[in-house]
Amino acid sequence: MNLIDSHCHLDYFTDDELPSVLARASAAGVVEMVTIGTRLRQAPRSQALAESQPNIWYTVGVHPHNAAEMPVPQPEVIAALTAHPKAIGIGESGLDYFYDKAPRAVQQDNFRAHIKAAQATGLPLAIHARDADEDIARLLLEERDRGGDFAFLLHCFSSGRALAEAAVQQGGYVSFSGILTFPKSTELREIARDLPAERLLVETDAPYLAPVPLRGKRNEPALVAHTARVLAETRGLAPDALAALTTANFRRLFRKAA
């Protein structure tokens, strides 16, 4: 069984920890992973990490939490940082109205800049959405009207059904994390059950949100296997079939990761 962790933050692990994290991933059948950008200045480290391991990819972007730390980047600047062959996506960017760590207007400008970078490069945008369903859907539509189609996924999906459906309607993908395995996530599992199979992805969002049965522990890419198992059960698929499905979906969306 070959799984891909489509969203993790490997820069949270020290150089000493990383070899064992990667070994456990490989033992769990997690053959590739994407380490996700949250600040532009992190790009050189992500690039070095991706160059050091054949199965690590990376993305470039500014997390909504960090949107006010620096002036909002020009889309061209974000796009230029993805020239490297292992930079396969943009993000994560989006809106987080739960923590509101940056003013909402700045978060929106930041999100729009990332959408424009996705349009310019043809690379998929990893979207962080928390308590901002309506504005996420609205900005996706507005920027599509303005600048044309772009590829994207809603990462660590925990929003409402309407946003999942709006995303799918616009050609987007939906990525499920350990939240899917939590006992109280009944509604989330119902959404996961109902979405089109060809739009499903799995991720850890490590080091956050470890799945059951390791909830509360530090998460790492190996543990995406637990989320994949629950998604397989939810969809009535064998684990192997679910792994093949999500891997095929990943390759279709992240075209540079071929």
Q: Which CB sits closer to Zn ion, 58 or 232?
A: 58
Q: How far apart are CA 48 and CA 42, in angstroms?
A: 10
Does 114 contact Zn ion by CB under 5 A?
A: no
Taking the complex as a whole, the smallest distance from the CB of residue 107 to Zn ion amounts, in Å, to 13
Taking the complex as a whole, the smallest distance from the CB of residue 208 to Zn ion amounts, in Å, to 8
Angle at 163 between CA 159 and CA 169, to 5 degrees: 145
CB 122 within 8 A of CB 151: yes
Does 112 contact Zn ion by CB under 5 A?
A: no
Taking the complex as a whole, the smallest distance from the CB of residue 234 to Zn ion amounts, in Å, to 22
Contacting range for Zn ion; rule: CB under 5 A; set: 73-81, 89-97, 132-140, 221-229? 89-97
Give the residue at shortest CB distance from Zn ion: 128
Taking the complex as a whole, the smallest distance from the CB of residue 128 to Zn ion amounts, in Å, to 3
Using the rule CB under 5 A, which residue among 65, 86, 112, 128 binds Zn ion? 128
Q: Which CB sits closer to Zn ion, 174 or 243?
A: 174
Burial label for 162, CB within 10 Å (0-12, 13-18, 19+), is: exposed
Does 229 contact Zn ion by CB under 5 A?
A: no
Nearest to 40 by CA among 81, 1, 76: 81
Q: Which residues bind Zn ion (CB under 5 A)?
A: 92, 128
